[in-house]
Structure 1
Amino acid sequence: MSAETTETTESTSGPPAKSGAPGPRALARRRRRASVARFWKEYRKHRAGVFGLATLVLFVLVALTAPLTVGSDVDSVTDAPGQPLESPSGRFPLGTDQFGRSLLGLLIWGSRVSLLVGLLAAVLSVLIGALIGITAGHFRGWYATVMMRITDWFLVMPTLVLAIVLATVLSRSLGTIVLAIGVTTWPTTARLVRAQTLAVESRPYIERAKALGGGHWHIMSRHVLPNVMPLILAQTTLIISSAILAEATLAFLGLGDPAVVSWGGLLQDAREAGSVSSGDWWYLVPPGIGIAVVALAFTLCGRAVEAVLNPRLGVSR
Structure 2
Amino acid sequence: MSPHDPADPRVEVEPAEESGIIDQHPDSGLTVQAPVAARSPLQLVWSRLRRDTTAMVSVAVILLVILAALAAPLIAAWIGHGPDEQFRDDGLTEFGTPVGPNGQFLLGTDNLGRDVLVRLVYGAQVSLIVAFAATLGALGIGTIVGLVAGFLRGWVDTVLTWLMDTTLSLPQLLFAISLVALVGPSLGTTVVVIVLFSWAPIARVVRGQVLSLREREFVEAARSLGASNWRIMRVDVLPNLLVPILVYGTLLIPQAIVFEATLSFLGLGVLPPTATWGNMLSIASQGSLYTIAPWLVIFPSAALLAVTLAFNLLGDSIRDALDPRQTLFAGRRKLARTRAARRAAKAEARA
TM-score, normalized by the shorter chain, greater than 0.5:
yes
Question: 2:197 is paired with a residue of what secondary structure?
Answer: coil
Equivalent of residue 266 in structure 2, options 250, 253, 256: 253
Q: Is the 8 A contact 1:117 1:174 kept in 2?
A: yes
Query: Displacement, 1:78?
Result: 4.9
Matched, 1:180 2:180: no
| Distance change in 2, residues 1:273/1:121 (3 Å) | farther
- Whether 1:267 aligns to 2:285 is no
Identical aligned residues as a percent = 36
- Deviation per CA, 1:11-37: give whole Å up to 9, x if none: xxxxxxxxxxxxxxxxxxxxxx94432
Show CA shifts across 1:210-267 (max 9, x none): 1111112211110111000111111100000100000000000001222421111111
**Which residue pairs with 1:296 in the alignment?**
309
State the one-letter code of the partner of 1:82. G
- The answer (yes or no) to whether the contact 2:87–2:112 under 8 Å persists in 1 is no
- CA distance in 2 between partners of 1:77 and 1:274 (Å): 23
Residue pairs, 1:1-317, within 5 angstroms: 34-71=40-77, 74-78=82-86, 82-83=91-92, 84-258=97-271, 259-272=273-286, 274-276=288-290, 278-314=291-327
Counterpart CA distance in 2 for 1:272 and 1:66 is: 26
Residue range with higher mean Cα deviation, 171-180 or 232-241: 171-180
307-316 or 106-115, which deviates more: 307-316
Residue 38 of structure 1: CA displacement? Answer: 2.3
- 2:29 corresponds to which residue? none
- 1:77 deviates by 4.0
What's the TM-score once normalised by structure 1's chain length? 0.84
Q: Which amino acid aligns with 1:70?
A: A
Check whether the contact 1:159–1:185 (CA below 8 A) recurs between aligned residues: no
The superposition leaves residues 46-86 of structure 1 with CA deviations (integer Å, 9 ceiling, x where unpaired) of 22122111110111111111111113962224566622511
Partners of 1:167 and 1:216 lie apart in 2 by: 40
Kindly report the root-mean-square deviation, in angstroms, between the aligned alpha carbons of the 2 structures. 2.1
- Which runs of 5 or more residues in structure 1 are unaligned? 1-32
Spell out, residue by residue over 1:264-306, the C-alpha distance to the aligned partner (whole angstroms, 9 max, x if none).
Answer: 1111122235314x43211111101111110000101111111
Indicate the structure whose relative CO is greater, using CA pairs within 8 Å and at least 6 residues apart: 1
What runs of 5+ residues in structure 2 fail to find an aligned partner? 1-38, 332-351
How far has the Cα of 1:116 moved from its partner?
A: 1.3
Please report the TM-score for the alignment, with normalisation by the length of structure 2: 0.76
Answer whether contact 1:124 1:182 (CA < 8 A) is retained: yes
Alpha-carbon distance in structure 2 between the residues aligned to 1:45 and 1:231: 22
Contact 1:75/1:101, CA 8 A, preserved across alignment: yes
Letter in 1 for 2:176: A
CA contact (8 A) 1:85 1:98 kept: yes
Encode CA deviations 1:107-135: one digit per residue, 9 max, x unaligned: 11111111111111111111111111101
Q: Distance in 2 between matches of 1:35 and 1:175?
A: 38
